[in-house]
């Protein structure tokens, strides 16, 4: 027999659902607006007519319905060479960077999960210590710059002549939180399974790849998602590390930021004498770039989402 809900319980559920709906709309609306603005006319955007749906503005602005794709055509054709090169750079940084981070994070977490590791308490303390205290932006930048100089010296070149995308991959791959999630997940694997594998003659690497990794797939998938999103959205350090002379190495986020600064007034006022392109809105082109930059994450996230809650619970709770 179904239990009848009390008044207080019913009110709580109604308030909770209303709050969740409002919160979901707040999260989704920026994406909807960006997509609508990418397909809207210059006149409609300047007049703040874009709210939910694409707008083509007044007929007097010379903008036809068929020209709504001009912003995307601008991204693909006129700025396509620069935009898609930066897009490929982001794919490279995301894919290679995520693999690199996973490899040494898994190895480090496996070592730290073993009680027989000499100095285990100290290593774990210093790992957590980096989450409490940070050296700051300036020392971190100098550290990255010094790492780049070492990489350049190894190949007999200078800092500005080497491909600094590899510096971003190598020097910015550490994340203490993700390492702790993996360590806790490995600690949750029953020791009896490891002992049985050792009796069967398994080596240390075989135990890692055939026991620990298969039994921690949810946490590894969650950490991979964290690493991948951070690489895909990485903007600040990529802008600071990659010089202007290496614009061919910029990820798409740096390219979009530069485009916003130079051709729109979304970040800073345009320079005196700047003339808008009459054929379409460069603001629409900027939103088109943003939409193109979000699409891969929107495609990948649903496939990994099922591991998210399970992976965080397994790695975040220590039994």
Where does a domain end: 17, 44, 71? 71
In sequence order, the 6+-apart residues with CB closer than 8 A to the CB of 79 are 259, 285
Instruction: Say whether both 53 and 187 belong to one domain.
Output: no
Residue labelled with tokens 């949750």? 188
Residue 274, pLDDT score: 42
**Position 253 in a domain:** yes
- Helix 252-263 and helix 282-316: axis angle, to 10°? 140
Q: What is the pTM of this model?
A: 0.73
For residue 21, the model assigns a pLDDT of 92
Residue 221: Cβ within 10 Å count: 18
- Domain membership of residue 155 (yes or no) is yes
What is the mean pLDDT of each successive set of 10 residues along the chain, which is 319 residues long? Answer: 72 89 87 76 66 58 43 55 81 88 88 85 85 80 84 80 82 81 85 85 86 85 84 82 75 80 61 46 72 79 66 50
Alpha carbon distance 172, 150 (integer Å): 15
Distance from C-alpha of 24 to C-alpha of 34, rounded to nearest angstrom: 16
Extract the tokens encoding 56.
């083509």
| pLDDT computed for residue 74 by the predictor | 57
Give the pLDDT confidence score for residue 155 in this predicted structure. 79
103 and 32 in a common domain: no
CATH, residue 219: 1.10.3720.10
CB neighbour burial string for 274-298, b if at least 16 within 10 angstroms, e if fewer: eeeeeebbbbbbbbbbbbbbbeeee
Containing structural domain, residue 251: 75-316
Q: What is the pLDDT of residue 59?
A: 41
Which of these three, 42, 71, 100, is where a domain ends? Answer: 71
In-domain check, residue 2? no
Structure tokens at 294: 């979000």
Instruction: Based on the fold, state whether residues 108 and 13 are members of the same structural domain.
Output: no
Which of 45, 71, 97 is the endpoint of a domain? 71
What's the confidence (pLDDT) of residue 191? 82
Query: Would you say 299 and 168 are in contact if contact means Cβ atoms under 8 Å apart?
Result: no
Instruction: Give me the number of domains the chain comprises.
Output: 2
Task: Classify residue 88: in a domain, yes or no.
Answer: yes
């Amino acid at each position: 027999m179904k239990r009848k809900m009390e008044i207080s319980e019913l009110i709580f559920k109604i308030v909770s659902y209303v709050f969740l709906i409002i919160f979901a709309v707040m999260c989704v609306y920026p994406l909807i607006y960006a997509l609508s603005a990418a397909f809207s006319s210059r006149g409609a955007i300047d007049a703040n007519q874009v709210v939910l749906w694409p707008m083509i503005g007044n007929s007097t602005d010379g903008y036809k319905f068929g020209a709504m794709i001009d912003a995307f055509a601008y991204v693909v054709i006129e700025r396509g060479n620069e935009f898609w090169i930066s897009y490929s750079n982001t794919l490279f940084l995301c894919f290679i960077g995520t693999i690199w981070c996973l490899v040494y994070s898994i190895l480090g977490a496996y070592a730290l999960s073993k009680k027989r590791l000499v100095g285990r308490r100290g290593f774990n303390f210093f790992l957590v210590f980096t989450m409490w205290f940070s050296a700051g932006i300036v020392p971190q930048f100098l550290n990255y710059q010094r790492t780049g100089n070492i990489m350049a010296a190894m190949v007999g070149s200078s800092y500005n002549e080497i491909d600094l995308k590899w510096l971003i991959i190598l020097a910015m791959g550490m994340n203490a939180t993700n390492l702790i999630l993996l360590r806790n997940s490995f600690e949750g694997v029953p020791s009896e399974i490891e002992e049985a594998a050792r009796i069967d003659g398994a080596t240390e690497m075989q135990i890692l790849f055939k026991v620990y990794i298969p039994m921690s797939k949810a946490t590894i998938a969650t950490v991979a998602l964290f690493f991948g999103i951070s690489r895909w959205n990485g903007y600040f350090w990529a802008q600071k590390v990659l010089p202007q002379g290496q614009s061919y190495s910029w990820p798409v986020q740096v390219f979009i930021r530069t485009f916003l600064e130079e051709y729109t007034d979304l970040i800073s006022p345009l320079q005196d004498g700047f003339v808008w392109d009459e054929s379409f809105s460069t603001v629409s082109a900027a939103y088109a770039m943003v939409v193109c930059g979000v699409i891969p994450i929107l495609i990948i996230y649903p496939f990994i989402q099922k591991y998210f809650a399970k992976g965080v619970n397994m790695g975040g709770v220590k039994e």
